[in-house]
Amino acid sequence: MHQPKPPRTGPAVVAAGATAVAAVVLAAVAVSPPRATDRTAAAAPAARLALSIRVHLPLLMKAVAVSDLPPAPTAVLPTATASAQPSPTAAPTTAVPPTAAASATPTTEPPTAVPTDTAEPVPPTETPTDVPTAEPTPTLKPPVAAMCSELVVNGDFERGATGWDLFTNAGARYDRLTRVIRQPATNERVQPHGGTWVGQLGGGTGSWTDEITNPDPASARGYLLPLASEMVSATLRFHFALDTQEARDRIPNDRFHVTLMNEDASDQIQVLDTPISEETQLPGEWKAYTFDVTQAMTVRRRWDRARLKFKSENDLELATWHTLDDVSLELCVKREGAARLDLPLRGWRTHAGRAP
């Protein structure tokens, strides 16, 4: 159904009226032609009137548009005014404050930030996987009750020239055990570590070599070794001091070795990784040495018995005296091992070392 157009008001009425007036005037001028006599004279005023109307009519309409009349309420019929009135009065509708757009944006923001905060990752308290604290239990092996025996005969040298065997390349004159196992004079630089006797090797030049071995082969074939199932531990200890004419020049001129060897000396194990020399120890001071020799003192092929050897080497010039005291080789075995080896036992004690 066709709806009637709303009545025009305000500037639209004024503009329409002015347009109608101008049209009437022009029509009057055109319809009433003048006489022939004065046609020429009347044409000029009519043209001027038409020109005046054409010039002043737009100005009149613009003045009416910017007058103090209130703007048309475009919200009443937005569809009709938008289609029918392309006049400049539609401009105020575009001046929408930007605050409206800004106010709309917060409503469209997805409140996903809150869930991300609340969705905190569950703390990785799965660290209880480190609970394998039961591992120390394998290391807590029960102590082994062992019977221990001292294998070295006359290890403190307090019984004089006995229990040891001497070899030297210095000739028959010096091939005497009493030269090595001795009581130092009070004016000597190295005094006994304990008691009054020491075992002192070296002291010569010209590639001088001295060796002492325990036990003496004349009295024993060597230390009888236990089986692996009988072994608990074997520990070698001794005190060592030196006196020398050598200077410390980073060259170990005179050296001291410690060796474990089988019964016929066909197989030897060096206990020291580096020989003792004037470069490793200062003259005149006693130093204690301790070594775990359990594996070397366990029975195996060609090792039913063992012997302990100390060796002193002097170079061509400038002598060094290598001095021993309180030598000990302690062997600890189980009861069945002690019975089989027929060792001179010192009694039971609890040994917390390696398990057999």
We find that the CATH architecture of domain 144-351 is Sandwich (2.60)
* Predicted pLDDT of residue 57: 64
CB 198 within 8 A of CB 178: no
What is the pTM assigned to this prediction? 0.59
Q: Where along the chain do its domains lie?
A: 9-68, 144-351
Enumerate residues 6+ apart whose C-beta is below 8 A from 36: none
CB 150 within 8 A of CB 344: yes
* Predicted pLDDT of residue 351: 54
Within a 10 A sphere around the Cβ of 344, how many other Cβ atoms? Answer: 10
Enumerate residues 6+ apart whose C-beta is below 8 A from 283: 189, 242, 243, 244
* Predicted pLDDT of residue 122: 55
* Predicted pLDDT of residue 137: 61
Query: What count of Cα atoms within 13 Å lies in the side-chain half-sphere of residue 74?
Result: 18
Phi and psi torsions of 69, nearest 5°: -70, 140
User: For 112-230, where are the E strands, in sequence order?
Assistant: 144-150, 165-168, 181-182, 198-202, 209-214, 223-224
* Predicted pLDDT of residue 219: 80
Per-residue model confidence as pLDDT tens for the chain (356 residues): 545 555 555 555 445 555 555 555 455 445 445 554 455 555 566 667 667 667 666 666 665 554 444 555 544 444 444 444 444 444 444 344 444 344 444 444 545 544 445 455 555 555 555 555 656 665 555 566 789 999 999 999 999 999 999 999 999 999 999 999 999 999 999 999 999 999 999 998 889 999 999 998 888 889 999 999 999 999 999 999 999 999 998 999 999 999 999 999 999 999 999 999 999 999 999 999 999 999 999 999 999 999 999 999 999 889 999 999 999 999 999 987 777 777 766 555 655 544 33
Query: What does DSSP assign to residue 303?
Result: B
Pair of tokens at residue 46: 């009519």
* Predicted pLDDT of residue 340: 78
